[in-house]
Structure 1
Amino acid sequence: MYGAFLALCAVPALRVAADETCSVEYEQGKRGFKAISLNPLLYTPISHRPDWHWKQLLRSRGIDADKVSQYEEAWVGLLFAEAEEAITGCSIQGGRYWDLVLDLRKLYDLARGSAKSSLVQRLASAFRISAIYARESLPENLRLSVCTPAVCDADQVIRTIYPEFTRVFMGARPERMLGNATFRDVVDGDEVLRWDAFDIDFAIVGVDRCGTTSLRKNLEMHPDIVFKSDREDLLLSHTAARRLLPTRAQVDQHNAEWHAAKAAKWKRTGHEPRRAPPLVGMANPLLFPSALARDKMAAMPRLKLIVVLCDPVGRFEKLFMLRHYCHDDLRAAQKRFMAHADRDGTEVCYRSTSAIVTERKGYWQMISMAPHLATLAQRFSGRIFFLHQDELRDMPRSTFDSLVGFLGLPPFPEDANFRRYNSVGGHRTDLCSNASLVSALKELLEHEYVMQEQLLRIWGKSVHVRTTRCDWIDKVNTTYCPNENGQPVAC
């Protein structure tokens, strides 16, 4: 009994000792740790920050701030580079980097009566925001990045180091403002890591509606390749879409899901990969136009990219068919993959594909490929594989064997059966019945054709990119579409 009592007493004593170790090491290297802290860890458009802030940052990097808008890549690149430099500097300092989020409204609720007015006045002054007259006027949270010694854990950072950063808006003794609460009640902390902490070897990043589903499903047949799931990977487009650095929790979850996918594949197929460990793939056909996603992938040195190209006219028609074409029976069209699953019939639709030209402002810029393809080719030179959709249709075996060779893997097993998915044959719209419209679209998309020809020429391919599906409309067969359970069935 006495031994158990001593053990219980030792727990808080150990915690106090650990807190002291964290505090002592932080005080010893405080100058270096503080110099690295307070960098942004989430992407925000330029319009979300005051003019003086982003103009000063851009000009410090030699960028003409007056010529930069929130839609340009310079701002994205600047924020991403600062985050990368910060975590590198923290590592050199021998520390860990933290993303700390303060719930300002909860802090306001916990503050003692006389401290509430002081808090809002200090916040308005410290962050140059307009006067705050009510709780609802407060920002929901305040996010700070902090570099600390490696020995500190999240609780220690919040209890012993974070209060120092709040004095500017909570006074010299910030704990007094909390009353009986502590900072642990109002602050959440996550360690952040580098992007290369993710176990990802290659990614199918685009182009959407050009055969990316066929790429993913057929590559997954290879015994040395594992995808995390049978769906598009949302890691870079949703889960960590705005993050400039990922949290350890995000990294750990992704890597754990990959290990589970590997075990599930071995159980399903009955054979282990011919190499150890297998390559980990991710697929999201909408990553290629995202500047921030490209920055993240570039920060993963071993990551290789796969991009499938296709006829621009056919792609435009398919996107129009899915989102904007009027179907007499929408539900039947959705079952045949002739309309997007989330359309409810209330959106504006058009009876003819001539709207692709006449209504260009509605969606034209959103589906342009050429500028993004040029950036990808330049930035990922040596670790990117371009192919054309025609190769998947006309010579699947040699195409997929070349592709896995690029990934450093042996060819597919002899019994591999390569299928095409999400392909709807015949006349999808009225486009192929209007030769003049097809000609007009090809002229409008000339820059897209030129870019594809240049890329394929660099990669030593001789695919004829100037033909459209209308040139061989009678040869296009309906292939395989996913049903509600995700299994391939005839459309």
Structure 2
Amino acid sequence: MHGRQLCVCVCAAWFLAANGEDVTCLSEYYMGREGFRSVPLSPLVYTPIAHRPDWYWKKIFQMRGIDPESVKSGYTEAWLAFLFVEAQEAMTVCSIEGGRYWDCILDVRKVYDLAQGSARSTFAGRLAAVFGITLAAPDPLPGHLRLSLCAPARCTESQVVQEIFPLAVDMLMGERPQQMLGNASFRDVVVAHEVAGWHDFDIDFAIVGVNRCGTTSLRKNMELHPDVVIKGDEEETILSYELANRLLPLKAQVEEYNAQVQERITAKFKATGHRPHIVGIGNPLLFQSALVRQKLALMPQLKLVLAVCEPVGRMEKIFMMEKYCHDDLPAAQKRLVAWPYRDGSEVCFPSTSALLTERHGQLKLFWDQRIATAQHLAALAELFPSRLFVLHQTELRDTPSNIFNELAAFVGLRPFPEKIVFRRYNSVGGHRTDLCFNASLVRSLQRLLEREYVMQESILQAFRGIRIAARSTRCDLVDKVDTTYCPNMAC
């Protein structure tokens, strides 16, 4: 340890001790400073490339030896995997060093405003030097900087902010960082949160999609097993919304989530007298998020359940809910054959023929989302070669007992009790639109969705060794079976 650093350590410890404060955090940091500072300061929040200035990404790519041309989209699987694994490894290394990993946000503009005289230009100069950029005036200064750091495990949040953070940012604020703040303290310019790992979530299996392929039926019927509890009565959004762009979750968020799981377990125990021990979540859109896929991959105990269904029928159902013109929209919304959030102002179409005529026009985004399904399925299959259970919607309809007992074995459960009746949810049978009156339109849509057909057949064969006549559409049976209608209820 250099002489000046030793002096700072001793003097700081003496000052804190004289004021009756705990000095163990600071002294432990100095004793293990080399180890704590060797932990990579990885980004803990994902930011799309377009949301950061060019100089930021240029510096990041240069430091990591990455070709910028290979990650232009910002969402390539390889780039995301790199970021997530790097963050996880940094937290693990910190733990090995005897520390906890923290996500800190520095209010750069406030520091600049608090600094006096030459301290302002010094601060701006240091910031420019760290990122290799030119800052001629305060305007180009970023509003905030997110900095991760490793601190001794015994350090509290307050100690991390007031004692450890100033030492960790000496490259920005010099060896006497407090001088930059005048009469303010670091609590005025820094917010710190401890982070945790994705594996800390109490989740054993996740129903991840595909939307409109029977995921509600999967979720509600799986919870009929006495050993299963599903987190939440609705679709779970913790991974896709509350923690949408995080590379590591905040510890407080993990603890809050796990506490809610325990409440669900207790509630089921009180209602049934049996305490479940397998926790599941369900959200039919998780499969299509590259960010969520990486989070799920970092939960080694987690198993995934994926339901696929006939692509043309799925497209028709989504078109019916989102784009079809209903004579009475409020009534259709009540029956849940129209999307509940439609307000009537958006463009609607009186016929499914618009799926072809507006494919490159007003329905381009609609088509782009459908076409991407095959790509998402391929990415999911590649990322989870041994932890993915794939089923076809027809199995839920034709052989529900068999498929749910297969699922039970897959997630580590005994078979379902024989008395359980497996029901279907959100089923709308019969002629939902005019699609099945137009055979040539059906054939055209099948050709355009060929890639999804092939992908479904491929993963069903690869993961379960089964072949399903996936090329048959709902129109082949629409006049031969009873019309069903049970949105949001069992039938």
Indicate whether 1:307 and 2:306 are aligned.
yes
* CA deviation vs aligned residue, 1:108-151 (integer Å, no higher than 9, x gap): 565568866765565456543655556xx754422110011222
| Cα distance in 2 between the residues matched to 1:346 and 1:115 | 55
Which ranges in structure 1 are unaligned for 5 or more consecutive residues? 1-11, 483-487
More off after superposition, 468-477 vs 442-451: 468-477
Instruction: Choose which of 157, 162, 168 in structure 2 pairs with 1:159.
Output: 162
Which amino acid in the other structure matches residue 383 of structure 2?
R
* CA deviation vs aligned residue, 1:15-48 (integer Å, no higher than 9, x gap): 8553x22222212222222222421000011223
Q: Which residue of 1 aligns with 2:283?
A: 284
Indicate whether 1:28 and 2:27 are aligned.
no
Q: Which residue of 1 aligns with 2:320?
A: 321
Q: TM (normalized to structure 2)?
A: 0.88
| Cα distance in 2 between the residues matched to 1:477 and 1:222 | 29
Instruction: Choose which of 447, 454, 458 in structure 2 pairs with 1:454.
Output: 458
Note closer, same or farther for the CA distance 1:463–1:152 as it changes in structure 2 (3 Å cut). same
Instruction: Choose which of 429, 433, 437 in structure 2 pairs with 1:429.
Output: 433
For the residue of structure 2 that corresponds to 1:100, the secondary structure is: strand
Instruction: Choose which of 204, 227, 231 in structure 1 pairs with 2:230.
Output: 227
Note closer, same or farther for the CA distance 1:401–1:181 as it changes in structure 2 (3 Å cut). same
Say if 1:58 and 1:78, in contact at 8 Å, map to a contact too: no
Q: Which residue of 1 aligns with 2:474?
A: 469
Q: Which residue of 2 aligns with 1:188?
A: 191
Say if 2:423 and 2:490, in contact at 8 Å, map to a contact too: no
Say if 1:121 and 1:132, in contact at 8 Å, map to a contact too: no
| Cα distance in 2 between the residues matched to 1:363 and 1:113 | 56
Say if 1:353 and 1:430, in contact at 8 Å, map to a contact too: yes
Note closer, same or farther for the CA distance 1:302–1:113 as it changes in structure 2 (3 Å cut). same
Which amino acid in the other structure matches residue 377 of structure 1?
A
| Cα distance in 1 between the residues matched to 2:64 and 2:162 | 36
* CA deviation vs aligned residue, 1:299-348 (integer Å, no higher than 9, x gap): 11110000000001111111111211122211111111111111111112
Note closer, same or farther for the CA distance 1:232–1:142 as it changes in structure 2 (3 Å cut). same
Q: Which residue of 1 aligns with 2:342?
A: 343
* CA deviation vs aligned residue, 1:50-89 (integer Å, no higher than 9, x gap): 5465456557767543233223223212211221221122
Indicate whether 1:80 and 2:84 are aligned.
yes
Q: Which residue of 2 aligns with 1:418?
A: 422
Q: Which residue of 1 aligns with 2:207?
A: 204
| Cα distance in 1 between the residues matched to 2:71 and 2:242 | 28
After TM superposition, the structure 1 = structure 2 runs for residues 236-385 of structure 1, keeping only pairs within 5 Å, are: 236-267=239-270, 269-273=271-275, 278-360=277-359, 361-367=364-370, 368-385=372-389
Indicate whether 1:89 and 2:93 are aligned.
yes
The CA deviation at 1:191 is 0.9
| Cα distance in 2 between the residues matched to 1:21 and 1:390 | 63
Q: Which residue of 1 aligns with 2:13?
A: none
| Cα distance in 2 between the residues matched to 1:403 and 1:221 | 13
Note closer, same or farther for the CA distance 1:185–1:64 as it changes in structure 2 (3 Å cut). closer
Which amino acid in the other structure matches residue 387 of structure 2?
R
* CA deviation vs aligned residue, 1:152-181 (integer Å, no higher than 9, x gap): 221111111111244444444221332332
Say if 1:307 and 1:386, in contact at 8 Å, map to a contact too: yes
After TM superposition, the structure 1 = structure 2 runs for residues 60-75 of structure 1, keeping only pairs within 5 Å, are: 64-69=67-72, 70-75=74-79
| Cα distance in 2 between the residues matched to 1:479 and 1:192 | 46
| Cα distance in 2 between the residues matched to 1:58 and 1:126 | 15
Which amino acid in the other structure matches residue 278 of structure 2?
L
Note closer, same or farther for the CA distance 1:183–1:60 as it changes in structure 2 (3 Å cut). closer
Q: Which residue of 1 aligns with 2:10?
A: none
The CA deviation at 1:288 is 0.7
Which amino acid in the other structure matches residue 80 of structure 2?
V
Give 4+ residue runs of structure 1 displaced > 6 Å after superposition: 59-62
Say if 2:225 and 2:417, in contact at 8 Å, map to a contact too: yes
Which ranges in structure 2 are unaligned for 5 or more consecutive residues? 1-15
The CA deviation at 1:101 is 1.4
Instruction: Choose which of 142, 152, 167 in structure 2 pairs with 1:149.
Output: 152
**How many residue pairs end up in the alignment?**
467
Q: Which residue of 1 aligns with 2:6?
A: none
The CA deviation at 1:433 is 1.2
* CA deviation vs aligned residue, 1:279-308 (integer Å, no higher than 9, x gap): 000111111122221111111111000000
The CA deviation at 1:198 is 0.7
For the residue of structure 1 that corresponds to 2:105, the secondary structure is: strand
The CA deviation at 1:462 is 3.1
Q: Which residue of 2 aligns with 1:6?
A: none
Which amino acid in the other structure matches residue 222 of structure 1?
H
Say if 2:125 and 2:135, in contact at 8 Å, map to a contact too: no
More off after superposition, 62-71 vs 439-448: 62-71
| Cα distance in 2 between the residues matched to 1:237 and 1:381 | 22
More off after superposition, 386-395 vs 167-176: 167-176
Q: TM (normalized to structure 1)?
A: 0.88
For the residue of structure 2 that corresponds to 1:363, the secondary structure is: helix
Note closer, same or farther for the CA distance 1:375–1:422 as it changes in structure 2 (3 Å cut). same
State the identity %: 55
CA RMSD of aligned residues (A): 2.5
For the residue of structure 2 that corresponds to 1:350, the secondary structure is: coil
Q: Which residue of 1 aligns with 2:448?
A: 444
